[in-house]
Amino acid sequence: MDVIAKFGREDLAILYVVKNNDKYLEFVESLQPPIPRDKKWVLILSTMYGCPVRCKMCDAGSYYQGKVSTDDLFKQIDFMVLNRYPDKNIPAEKFKVQFARMGEPCLNEAVLDVMKLLPDRYNAPGLMPCISTIAPKNAQKFMDELIVIKNEMYSNGHFQMQFSIHSSDEEKRKEIIPYKIWSLEDIATYGEEFYEKGDRKITLNFAAEKDTPLDPDTIGRIFDPEKYIVKITPINPTESVKAHGISSMITAEEGEEVKKLVKELEDRGFESIISIGELEENKIGSNCGQQALKFLDGKIEILEYQPYT
């Protein structure tokens, strides 16, 4: 696995592009200014070379070349960890390892293997694995085992689960996510088994397109606000977004449209977050799987980047 380029800033986010056996992937380390690294450090891993799901707004779905192995998942982590903490003693109060870059993590059983091995691999009291998933129908075995691992190894708030659902309307969800996925009711049923007292609330993430149905009554009818939190994020300016002519419900410059929605969700008991990252992250490309694709397509000459040496 060779790191061939990096993009970004030390005080915000750095994206690394890797070539591995003629396949490309990317991974990211990020901060949340003004929070320092010893308080919060986030690693975002790719679990696949591309992605078979092909979500409407995501560049990673432009191709799919297989799953990332357990060993190569750890190579991503080790590269970022050893660069800063050669002794593997990670002091961050919150050390988040997110399986959320290229690929659908719940379609790769190696993610579970990594979760089992993480606590013994690093001295990281703040370790918190995070999975962001579309909830594929063919991932039931993975999801069942995830509950066992979470309860045995990451209880009391040391694990974060996020479902990327994007709309409260099932037909719209199928349009956005052209893959066989759980219904909202299926997700809620799973959440009843998954959630235990002391856990972090399960996140319902909406990277919502303008005019996409996002109905507080539907969300309130299906999900328990004691167990779920709602997060609304802008749609990142990927090549797929440009190709499909997608407009975000909210942008980094303007979030007024969504404030009424947040109020309606809060009236139904939901903690709601409008999560808008730094504008600079769009220039870095650290928000969504787009840089590895440019290498694959031979388009890197149009980018400004730092070759990794």
Model confidence, pTM = 0.89
The predicted-structure confidence for 103-145, as pLDDT tens digits, reads as follows: 999 999 999 999 999 999 999 999 999 999 999 999 999 999 9
The answer to whether 122 touches 81, Cβ cutoff 8 Å, is yes
Round to whole Å and give the CA distance between 165 and 170. Answer: 9
Q: What is the pLDDT of residues 11-54, one digit of tens each?
A: 999 999 999 999 999 999 999 999 999 999 999 999 999 999 98
Residues making up the chain, counted from first to last: 309
pLDDT, residue 304, reads 39
Give me the chain's average pLDDT, please. 88
For residue 268, what are its two tokens?
């139904």
For the ranges 54-63, 124-133, 207-216, the one whose mean pLDDT is highest = 124-133
Question: What distance in Å separates the CA atoms of residue 12 and residue 9, rounded to the nearest whole number?
Answer: 5
- The tens digit of pLDDT for each residue in 233-266 reads 887 766 676 776 767 767 655 566 678 899 999 9
Cβ contact 7:300 at 8 Å: no
Per-residue tokens: 188: 């809620």
Pairing of strands 160-164, 202-207: parallel
* pLDDT in the model for residue 58: 82
Name residues whose C-beta falls within 8 Å of residue 197's C-beta, 6 or more positions apart in sequence.
none
Name every residue whose Cβ is closer than 8 Å to that of residue 233 and which is 6 or more positions away in sequence. 205, 206, 207, 208, 250, 274, 275, 276
Residue with tokens 């800063």: 84
Output b/e per residue, 209-244; b: 16+ Cβ within 10 A. beebebebeebbebbebebbbbbbbbbbbbbbbeee
Q: What is the DSSP string of 66-99?
A: EEPPHHHHHHHHHHHHHHH-TT-B---SEEEEEE
Distance of alpha carbon 103 from alpha carbon 223, whole angstroms = 26
Q: Are residues 31 and 12 in contact, defined by beta-carbon separation less than 8 angstroms?
A: yes
Helix (H) or strand (E) holding 189: helix 184-194
Q: pLDDT category, 302, cuts 50, 70, 90?
A: very low
Please compute the mean of the pLDDT values over residues 64-90 and round it to a whole number: 98
Go through the domains of the chain in sequence order and give each one's CATH number.
2-304 (3.20.20.70)
